[in-house]
Homo-oligomer: A and B are copies of this chain.
Amino acid sequence: MLTERFLCNRRRRELSKEELEVVEGAIAEVRTIPPRSQVVTAGKPIHASTLLVEGLMCRYMDDRAGNRQIVAIHIPGDFVDLHGFPLKHLDHDVATITSCKVACVPHENLETIIGTHPHLSRQLWFSTLMDAAMHREWTFRLGRLDANQRIAHLFCELYCRMNAVGLAKDGSFSLAITQQDVGETCGITSVHVNRALRNLRNDGLVTFRSKKVVIPDRAKLAKLADFEPNYLFFDPDFEALS
């Protein structure tokens, strides 16, 4: 089921099976998109939103010199550009990182849902607010943490989110991004990412090698990164999930 990960993504008890089927039914098309390809361009009108089923996507903005700042990383189960539905166009670009399987939900179908399923539409609103909460945390990350901490914080967040959709366990998950991507996310150069990763590795906090993140001691990493997962609004017992 395409929406399976969307279900367990957040606050799992909040969506009924029937509502999930409504979302599933709103999907018009399932596509596979090659890695590193732009999907949405800032400013251009959009008429469908993208539910990510498999792979990694990101949202980003470039400065005038062409340097990229990634403002969101999306994992399976995320509604990548749901906010484009009320906004009609986006203020940023969207691209795939890896090869991706996506489900396209036309805005006219969302329109119908809004009219007929008040609770579900509330959940869609909620979903966009979760993104905003992550944006805030990213602001905190960039404003207050040093390079080591930023990377640690990013890995902590991704671990929690991956874990919530069944893609991480025992302190380890697969993450097919480059050190350059990490740099563009954390506002540091790829050279310095490399050095920071070495620090973290030498301190036994986290390794990131061959597209795999391993966190031997999550509590220790979270402490270094000043990471408090409350902003992800998971179930209170999310900690219990390993």
Contact = CB atoms under 8 A, between A and B. Distances in A.
A67 B126 CA distance: 29
Given A91-B231, A126-B86, A132-B83, A144 B42 contact: no
Nearest to A149: B63
A69 B230 contact: no
A233 interface: yes
Contacts of A139: 69, 71, 135, 138-139, 142
Contacts of A135: 132, 135-136, 138-139
A7 B107 CA distance: 26
Contact of A61 (B43, B61, B125, B140): B140
B114 A118 contact: yes
Interface string A67-104: 10101100000000001001100011000000000000
A43 B230 contact: yes
Residue among A43, A86, A114, A143 having the largest count of chain B Cβ atoms under 10 Å? A143
Contacts of A67: 144
A131 interface: yes
Contacts of A64: 226
A128 B86 CA distance: 11
A128 B143 CA distance: 22
Contacts of A187: 142-144
A140 B184 CA distance: 10
Interface in A115-141: 115, 118, 122, 125-126, 128-129, 131-133, 135-140
Given A87-B233, A91-B230, A142-B143, A71 B136 contact: yes
Nearest to A60: B140
Contacts of A91: 133, 136-137, 230-231, 233
The 5 A-B residue pairs with the shortest CB-CB distance in the complex, in nearest-first order? A143-B187, A135-B135, A142-B142, A91-B231, A132-B132
20 contacts: A61-B136, A61-B137, A63-B140, A63-B144, A63-B226, A69-B140, A69-B143, A72-B136, A86-B125, A86-B129, A91-B133, A91-B137, A91-B231, A115-B118, A125-B125, A128-B132, A129-B132, A142-B187, A143-B187, A144-B187
